[in-house]
Chains A and B, each alone.
Chain A
Amino acid sequence: MRHDHIISAKQLSRADVEEVLDRASEIAADPGAFADSHAETLLGLLFFEPSTRTKMSFAAAIKRLGGDVVDMGPTEYSSVKKGESLADTVRVVEGYADALVLRHPSEGSAMMASEFVDVPLINAGDGAGQHPTQTLLDLYTIRENAGLDDITVGIMGDLKYGRTVHSLAYALTNFDTRQHFISPESLKLPRNVRYDLHETGAAIKEHTDLDAILPSLDVLYVTRIQRERFPDESEYRAVAGEYQIDAATLDDARDDLTVMHPLPRVDEIAQDVDGTAHARYFQQAHNGVPVRMALLDLLLEGSR
C-alpha cells in the first residue's frame, strides 16, 4: 500500500481496501505468524477525545505485532493543557514513535497534523470528519457476512455528524453496492459527503423511515443519535425513538440481514437483538484488532 498517512476513506482505492482486508484475514487465521513482525516498533497514541474501542484495539494490534505504545494519556495531564498547538505536539511525539494515531475533536486535524510529521500518521477520528480505520473494520465485517459486491446497505441514524458514516459511505462506492440512508430530516448527509457520492456516480437513496426498505437490505448499519444535536430533550426523544430497532422490528427483515453498529450504543439497538442471528456488532468491534494489525503492518512495511 502506497500511502504515507491514512487520513480519509477517500484516499483508499478498492485495491487498497482489499489488500488490508486480505492481510487481516491472514492475520485472523494465524495470528502467531505475525507475533514478532514489528518488534521494537513504538506506536504513539494521541487521543484528544475519549475512546475505548479505537484506542484499545490499536494498542492490542501493535502489541500483537510485537511492538508497544507510547501514550500521551488524557489531555488534562499533558502539555495540551498548557496551550500547546497540535502542530507542536505531533512534531514532538514523532521523535518518540515510529507511527502516530491521532483522534482530535476538530475536522481536518489529522490532515493538518500529517503535514508536520514524517512518520506515518493514522486518523482515528477528526471531529465530524472521517474515521477511516473504523471503515476498514466495517468493510471487513461486511465482507465476512454479506460480501462486498452486489449488496444493499442501509445506513441509519445521525448521518450529518457521524464520521463513521461519512467514511463508510464513501468507501462503499468502491464496490458494487446500493446505499440507502435513513435519518431524520435534520440529520441527513452533509453537503460535502453528498457531493462526493454524487461525483462517484454512486447509487444512493435517502429516506426518513426504515420500514419500506428494511426487507431489501443485506446490511443495516445503525448509528447513535446524540442528545446534544437537538435543542431540547423532548424533541430528541421523539426523533431518536423513531430510529431504534428491536427484535420485533427485524421480523420484516431478510433472515440473513447483518446488523452492525460502530458502538457505543445507547438504546438504538435493543438488547433483545443481541441474541438474534442478525447481530454482528460485537464481532465487528473484535475485528478492530486484526484489521488494525493489517493496516499497521502494511503502513510500517511501506514506510521502511
Chain B
Amino acid sequence: MTDEEELRVSKIGSGTVIDHVPGGKALHVLAILGIDGSGGEVVSIGMNVPSDRLGRKDVVKVESRELSQSEVDVLSLIAPAATINIIRDFDVVEKHRVSRPESVSGVLECPNVNCITSEAEPVETKFEVLEDGVRCVYCDTIIREDIADHIQV
C-alpha cells in the first residue's frame, strides 16, 4: 500500500488503531466496542481501503484510548485478521493480533426469542466461543453465520 492511500485516514497522536478489519465491518467494530460517539471519543474510520492482504479493508482509529486485550479479543468474532496498534506520541508502541476469547458477554443478542436473555431479566447475554461459531450459554443456541447481525446495539 502506498503512503498516499495510508493517509486517507490521518495519523493519530495517541490511542488505538484497529487495522485489517474486513471491508465494510468498521461500524460493527465500533458497535462491539460500545463506541457510538456519546462518550466523546475522537474516532476516524477508513472503509474499503485497498489492501494487499484483504483486498478491501477497514481501519478504525480511536484517539486517546488504549483498548485492552480483552476488549479487542471480542473483535476476533467478526475480524479474525485484525491487528491492533497502540499509539503513543505518534509511534506504535504495541502491536498485537486478536485471539479468540473463551466467551463473550454482553456483546451479542441471542437469536432465540424464547431464550431467557430475551426477557426483562437482570442478566447479560453470554456466548461460549466455538471453533466455528458461538453458543448461548443459557439456551444453547448456536450462531454460525452472520455473527455481526447479532451484535447488541
Contacts and interface: CB of A to CB of B under 8 A. Distances in A.
Interface of A: 85-87, 104-109, 111-112, 115, 126-129, 191-193, 195
B128 to A, nearest CB: 11
Given A106-B114, A127-B114, A111 B138 contact: yes
B140 A106 contact: no
A108 B115 contact: yes
22 contacts: A85-B119, A85-B122, A87-B121, A87-B122, A105-B114, A106-B118, A106-B119, A107-B112, A107-B139, A107-B141, A108-B136, A108-B137, A108-B139, A109-B116, A112-B116, A112-B117, A127-B114, A127-B139, A128-B114, A129-B139, A192-B140, A193-B140
Given A85-B122, A115-B123, A128-B114, A108 B138 contact: yes
B138 A112 contact: yes
Given A85-B122, A111-B137, A112-B123, A192 B142 contact: yes
Interface in B120-134: 120-123
Contact of B120 (A85, A107, A112, A126): A85
Given A111-B137, A112-B138, A191-B142, A106 B116 contact: yes
Nearest to B120: A85
A172 B132 CA distance: 26
Interface of B: 112, 114-123, 135-142
Given A107-B114, A108-B115, A108-B117, 20 more contacts: A85-B119, A87-B121, A87-B123, A106-B115, A106-B139, A107-B138, A107-B141, A108-B138, A108-B139, A108-B140, A111-B137, A112-B116, A112-B123, A115-B123, A126-B116, A129-B139, A192-B135, A192-B142, A195-B135, A195-B142
Contacts of B122: 85, 87
Interface of B, helix, strand, loop or mixed by DSSP: loop
Leading 8 A-B pairs by shortest Cβ distance: A108-B138, A107-B139, A108-B139, A108-B116, A192-B140, A106-B116, A109-B116, A112-B116
Contacts of B138: 107-108, 111-112
Contacts of A108: 115-117, 136-140
A87 B120 CA distance: 10
Contacts of B137: 108, 111
Nearest to B112: A107
Contacts of A192: 135, 140-142
Contacts of A104: 116
B1 to A, nearest CB: 40
Contacts of A129: 139-140
A195 B144 CA distance: 12
A85 B142 contact: no
Contacts of A87: 121-123
